[in-house]
């Protein structure tokens, strides 16, 4: 997932980017959520402290803003205007960042209640700051005066982006419209929290139980073991057969890929359609969010919400984004239908029914069969070559070969809320015994930063995978040493049974490499202004460093360096590597079409919400897909119902889901430059680090790309890597 901070996602950039400068210890000693001690003292972060801490942070921010607002023109410098603005809400950022992190990792009714109280007030407060007329008057005067002085390039860029952000958040609007914008920001925060709570509750409550073992024929033993353990946990004392599947495990996905009985796959598929319906119905709150976003865009002078959301992006506006998506859809339309017919023909041959119909619950199964038959790739056997310890060693070793860094684990201890843990298990506190802690140095003993690693799914942890920035640190100068960065990498791998080795699918390996790519973007930043540092870049560029890292997971030389069988320790066979590479040509158009249609749906509902106001949101998928909807005749739950990327925060990836493919065009283009240099080339990696990974948002993203490549991006490399072009 994108590497931007949870706070930035949740509060929708009421400042350009929320800063994380270091406050004085005296200001935070009595307020644990505001304490900048590193590593973080998680045991002190109890929900009863959240509200008073955030109240204090807002008070201090307001005091700082009032001080800026009282400046006379002759007193104005960069440091006491824009520099002070950048530091003004550092404590508030610190506190809310921790709060959102805890909610995503340790959700509880008490924490939800505290967040439901705090988040809307913070949202309204930050919204009011960008509309404060006394502050705005000072900033306009300061900008005019400072343009005559010699600011460094980072300061000039921060000033320019800050002024545009204030304008885009209503600073120049009349009082009644400013007041309405503040109200919208508060309502969006509340609505997105309701969506997130409904979504998490829907995932927690969804289960699918099978009592007939014959229905599960074809499913591998590890998936069945997970399901059996879940059944016994939910129904203690039961001695009869039973297997329970949840959404916290990959086992249900393996049913769709491996279950030989079509009735089994159909039953699971149909049961999945109930997610986020009934008592967890997300449709009403989604409609509310869409309406509020559109109203906000109109108030700020934009035609539609995508134009507002994309104003600082590489795409620039909604028209360019949808043009990009449609151009790619046109390129893959013919191969998409060829691939679907290939799967239908495979079903017809294997079932003996010449006119067999391909159903939604058939696609993953026959795509998997085709990979096994055509490419001789058994995904379950492939998994056995990715034991977690070796994957981590391989990832860290690759980073060392490319950039010369070293990753070292530090002993950690679980912090039980409010109860100090013993020191013997380690000096670093974590929030769960499975969480690990690592430091990264530059190879010469100088620490770049550190990170938490939280890999396993839990019932109170949100779904997906992500990297969070907890501290952007600061670069070293000849006068002062740098401050280390701090981040966290989170996945949702099914936890192992006691004593078992954790083995990953190739997809999970890629996900781990992806999130570590975000982390390197943070660790290598050389930007001195925190709110322009690290991953604080537009969403259609933030995925470039992360998706770039995924490319190494297909390289035979990289896989050979760590992929070994979990039991025998033998290296991954050459023929398996060849099959894995060839399998990229299995159903590439089908996979890309799913992502592009999701992106098109995102742009459509935000551009034309009235077009979809009459019917159910479940009808949107088909309406947007048009003649690319292969399953028009099937009634199915729309993807919007569970679109956490789009609705779990005030802005999130709304109108930005296309950014994964936009970034893929860039990352594949960049990776081919590495391949031309021979692969793991230290000189090319150094250039990539210097021109892109170190720059944050201090340099426009297109210029970063062109500084590395020497030209604008081309789509060819992405199509080649997906086996959609030669």
Specify the CATH number for 385-565; select among 1.10.3720.10, 3.30.2270.10, 1.10.1370.40, 3.40.50.300.
1.10.1370.40
* pLDDT, tens digit, 9 for 90 and up, residues 68-106: 999 999 999 999 999 999 999 999 999 999 999 999 999
* pLDDT, tens digit, 9 for 90 and up, residues 417-443: 444 444 445 679 999 999 999 999 998
> Cβ neighbours of residue 221 under 8 Å, at least 6 residues apart?
none
The reported pLDDT for the residue numbered 427 is 79
Peptide bond into 39 cis (omega under 30): yes
Boundaries of every domain in the chain: 6-130+132-168, 207-273, 385-565
What CATH superfamily is the domain 6-130+132-168? Endopeptidase. Chain P; domain 1 (1.20.1050.40)
Paired sense of beta strands 466-471 and 447-456, if any:
unpaired
Quick one: pLDDT band at residue 296, thresholds 50, 70, 90? very high
CB-facing half-sphere around the CA of 18: CA atoms within 13 A: 29
Q: Which of 26-30, 31-35, 297-301 has the lowest mean pLDDT?
A: 26-30
The reported pLDDT for the residue numbered 23 is 33
Closest-CA residue to 476 (of 448, 456, 502, 505): 448
d(CA 488, CA 496): 21
Q: What's the CA angle centered on 25, arms 20 and 29, to 5 degrees?
A: 110
Phi and psi angles of residue 493, each rounded to the nearest 5 degrees, phi first: -80, 140
Order of strands, sheet of 406-410, starting from the edge strand that comes earlier in the sequence: 406-410, 436-441, 447-456, 485-493, 466-471
Paired sense of beta strands 406-410 and 243-245, if any:
unpaired
Residues in the chain, how many?
Answer: 726
Token pair 């860290």 in the structure block, residue: 396
Residue 429 pairs with which residues in a beta bridge?
A: 413
pTM (2 decimals)? 0.90
* pLDDT, tens digit, 9 for 90 and up, residues 232-263: 999 888 888 999 999 877 788 889 999 999 99
Helix 588-607 / helix 283-299 crossing angle, nearest 10 deg:
60
d(CA 223, CA 357): 28
**Mean pLDDT of the residues in the chain:** 91
* pLDDT, tens digit, 9 for 90 and up, residues 657-697: 999 999 999 999 999 999 999 999 999 999 999 999 999 99
d(CA 116, CA 530): 28
Q: Report CA dihedral (54, 55, 56, 58) to the nearest 10 degrees.
A: 80
Pair of tokens at residue 174: 């009349």
> Cβ neighbours of residue 96 under 8 Å, at least 6 residues apart?
7, 10, 11, 54, 118, 119, 122
């Amino acid at each position: 997932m994108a590497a931007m901070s949870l706070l930035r996602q949740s509060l929708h950039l009421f400042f350009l980017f929320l800063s994380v400068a270091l406050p004085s210890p005296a200001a935070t000693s009595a307020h644990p959520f505001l304490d900048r001690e590193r590593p973080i003292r998680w045991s002190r972060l109890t929900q009863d402290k959240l509200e008073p801490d955030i109240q204090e942070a807002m008070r201090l921010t307001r005091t700082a803003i009032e001080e800026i607002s009282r400046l006379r023109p002759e007193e104005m410098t960069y440091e006491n205007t824009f520099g002070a603005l950048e530091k003004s809400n550092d404590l508030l950022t610190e506190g809310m960042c921790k709060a959102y992190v805890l909610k995503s990792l340790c959700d509880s009714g008490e924490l939800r209640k505290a967040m439901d109280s705090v988040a809307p007030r913070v949202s309204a407060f930050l919204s009011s700051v960008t509309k404060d007329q006394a502050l705005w008057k000072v900033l306009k005067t300061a900008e005019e005066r400072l343009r005559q002085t010699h600011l460094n390039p980072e300061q000039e860029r921060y000033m320019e982006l800050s002024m545009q952000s204030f304008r885009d958040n209503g600073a120049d609007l009349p009082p009644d419209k400013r007041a309405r914008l503040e109200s919208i920001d508060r309502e969006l925060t509340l609505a997105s929290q309701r969506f997130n709570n409904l979504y998490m509750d829907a995932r927690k409550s969804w289960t699918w139980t099978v009592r007939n073992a014959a229905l599960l024929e074809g499913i591998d033993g590890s998936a069945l073991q997970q399901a059996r353990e879940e059944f016994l946990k939910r129904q203690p004392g039961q001695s009869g057969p039973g297997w329970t599947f949840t959404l916290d495990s990959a086992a249900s996905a393996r049913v769709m890929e491996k279950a030989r009985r079509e009735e089994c796959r159909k039953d699971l598929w149909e049961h999945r359609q109930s997610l986020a319906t009934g008592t967890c119905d997300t449709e009403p709150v989604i409609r509310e969010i869409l309406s509020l976003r559109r109203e906000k865009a109109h108030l700020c002078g934009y035609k539609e919400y995508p134009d507002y959301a994309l104003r600082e992006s590489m795409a620039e506006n909604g028209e360019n984004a949808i043009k990009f998506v449609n151009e790619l859809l046109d390129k893959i339309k013919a191969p998409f239908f060829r691939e679907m017919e290939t799967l239908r023909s495979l079903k017809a041959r294997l079932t003996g029914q010449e006119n067999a119909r391909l159903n939604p619950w058939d696609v993953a199964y026959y795509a998997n069969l085709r990979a096994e038959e055509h490419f001789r790739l058994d995904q379950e056997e492939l998994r056995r070559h990715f034991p977690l310890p070796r994957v981590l060693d391989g990832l860290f070793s690759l980073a060392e070969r490319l950039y010369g860094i070293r990753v070292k684990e530090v002993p950690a201890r679980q912090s039980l809320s409010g109860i100090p843990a013993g020191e013997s298990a380690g000096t670093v506190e974590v929030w769960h015994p499975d969480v690990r802690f690592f430091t990264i140095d530059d190879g010469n003993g100088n620490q770049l930063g550190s990170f938490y690693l939280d890999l396993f799914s839990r019932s109170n942890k949100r779904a997906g995978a992500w990297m969070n920035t907890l501290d952007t640190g600061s670069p070293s100068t000849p006068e002062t040493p740098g401050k280390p960065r701090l981040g966290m990498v989170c996945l949702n791998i099914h936890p192992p049974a006691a004593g078992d080795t954790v083995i990953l699918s190739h997809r999970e390996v890629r996900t781990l490499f992806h999130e570590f790519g975000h982390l390197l973007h943070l660790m290598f930043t050389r930007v001195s202004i925190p709110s322009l540092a690290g991953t604080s870049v537009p969403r259609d560029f933030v995925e470039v460093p992360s998706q770039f890292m995924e490319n190494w997971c297909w390289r035979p030389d990289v896989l050979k360096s760590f992929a070994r069988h979990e039991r025998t320790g033998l290296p991954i066979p050459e023929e398996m590597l060849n099959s894995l590479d060839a399998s990229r040509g299995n159903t590439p158009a089908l996979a890309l079409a799913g992502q592009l249609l999701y992106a098109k749906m995102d742009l459509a509902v935000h551009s034309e919400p009235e077009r979809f106001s009459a019917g159910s949101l479940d009808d949107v998928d088909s309406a947007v897909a048009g003649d690319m909807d292969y399953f028009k005749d099937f009634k199915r739950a729309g993807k919007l119902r569970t679109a956490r990327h789009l609705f779990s925060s005030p802005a999130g990836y709304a109108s930005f889901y296309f950014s994964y493919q936009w970034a893929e065009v860039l990352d594949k283009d960049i990776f081919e430059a590495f391949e031309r240099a021979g692969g793991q080339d230290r000189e090319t990696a150094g250039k990539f680090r210097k021109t892109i990974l170190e720059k944050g948002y201090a340099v426009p993203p297109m210029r970063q790309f062109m500084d590395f490549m020497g030209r604008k991006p081309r789509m060819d490399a992405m199509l080649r890597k997906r086996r959609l072009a030669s």
